[in-house]
Structure 1
Amino acid sequence: MNETVLCVVGNVATRPVYRELPGGPSARFRLAVTARYWDREKNLWTDGHTNFFTVWANRQLAVNVAASVEVGQPLVVQGRLKVRTEAREGQQAWASADIDAVTIGHDLTRGTAAFRRSAKPETLPRPVARPEPQWETPPGEAPGDASVEAAAEAVLEGAMEGVADGQARTVVTGQQDARATMVT
């Protein structure tokens, strides 16, 4: 409940590392965030201190980061701040600032991007309680049979007449299940 949520703008400092874990996909990369300020004495913008954050992305966000993010690109990252400290034997204690990302996007004030919606993950098929239908074609009714082709031609001719009348129709042509939609 008492989390520190922040939004940072910076440049990608390291190549994203993508991993498939038991809990789902995960990706991480380092983000360099440099403060800029107006130096009145020099009369120009000056770079201040640079902070480095390790950005963690999970699930679908991790997949999209791996496909979209490259070193040097300007990003906007929003997420929860987590500061870790660790002391190892014989070494000086160190601290790490991590961001558990909720959303990541390219900074469009510094360039352009082409958005592509990602494909939805495949859902697992549900077990079917009904028996499987008989999929084999009965003997004498092969898909290339002349009677099936003649029936398909008759259906298509009827559909063309409907198009001439200003109607739109969807036609299912016999055994082959070939669909054609004609719109005027």
Structure 2
Amino acid sequence: MNETMVCVVGNVATQPVFRETAAGPSARFRLAVTQRFWDREKSAWRDGHTNFFTVWANRALAANVQASVSLGEPLMVRGRLKVRSEQRDGQSWTGADIEASAIGHDLARGTAAFRRTLRGDGAPDQASGESSGASARPEPNWETEPADQADGAEPTDQATPQRQEPALAG
């Protein structure tokens, strides 16, 4: 299929609205995307035109939007662009929607704390992130030293074999 995929960076312009539908959870919000450019005459950054997109999220993404996204936050949204044209009160109206496949906070403008959602029957507990019905795989402990470094020995890279240089004849 020929679909127009976009990735936009902007600020949440409306509080996300979450709905449980027969097809599953759905969430929507407006995203303001403002062009920024360098004004050589004033030697300063200036704001240009602002585009507004209605962002739609479905299923698990919708539930995560409800738990994670608030008004004014900087986001990056990737998804399918859909342009709608309608007639309202005798006037032509055009709108741009994004059916989101991924949404994340813009870490160039702030910090975030990621919490993995669990798949299965149980919903994650708000306080501990644990599920009542599904057993979660433990996260790897990236802070642990390898066994050979803990003994004071030189680290070895056993996963990557050393490249052998060919012998020169002569």
Q: TM-score, normalized by length of structure 1? A: 0.65
- String of CA shifts for 1:93-149, please: whole Å, max 9, x gaps: 1011000000000000000000001122418xxxxxxxxxxxxxxxxxxxxxxxxxx
Q: Which residue matches 1:35?
A: 35
Q: Give me the whole-angstrom Cα distance separating, in 2, the residues matched to 1:21 and 1:28.
A: 13
Q: Give me the whole-angstrom Cα distance separating, in 2, the residues matched to 1:62 and 1:121.
A: 16
- String of CA shifts for 1:19-72, please: whole Å, max 9, x gaps: 001111000000000000000001000000000000000000000000000000
How many positions carry a matched residue from both structures?
122
Q: What does 1:109-124 correspond to in 2, within 5 Å?
A: 109-122=108-121
- String of CA shifts for 1:139-181, please: whole Å, max 9, x gaps: xxxxxxxxxxxxxxxxxxxxxxxxxxxxxxxxxxxxxxxxxxx
Q: Which residue matches 1:86?
A: 86
Q: What does 1:162-177 correspond to in 2, within 5 Å?
A: none
Q: Give me the whole-angstrom Cα distance separating, in 1, the residues matched to 2:108 and 2:90.
A: 42
Q: Which residue matches 2:104?
A: 105
Q: Give me the whole-angstrom Cα distance separating, in 2, the residues matched to 1:55 and 1:8.
A: 11
**Percent sequence identity over matched residues?**
70
Post-superposition offset of 1:86: 0.4
Q: RMSD of aligned C-alpha atoms? A: 1.0
Unaligned runs of 5+ in 1: 124-184
Q: TM-score, normalized by length of structure 2? A: 0.70
Q: Secondary structure at the match of 1:87?
A: strand
Q: Which residue matches 2:95?
A: 96
Unaligned runs of 5+ in 2: 123-170
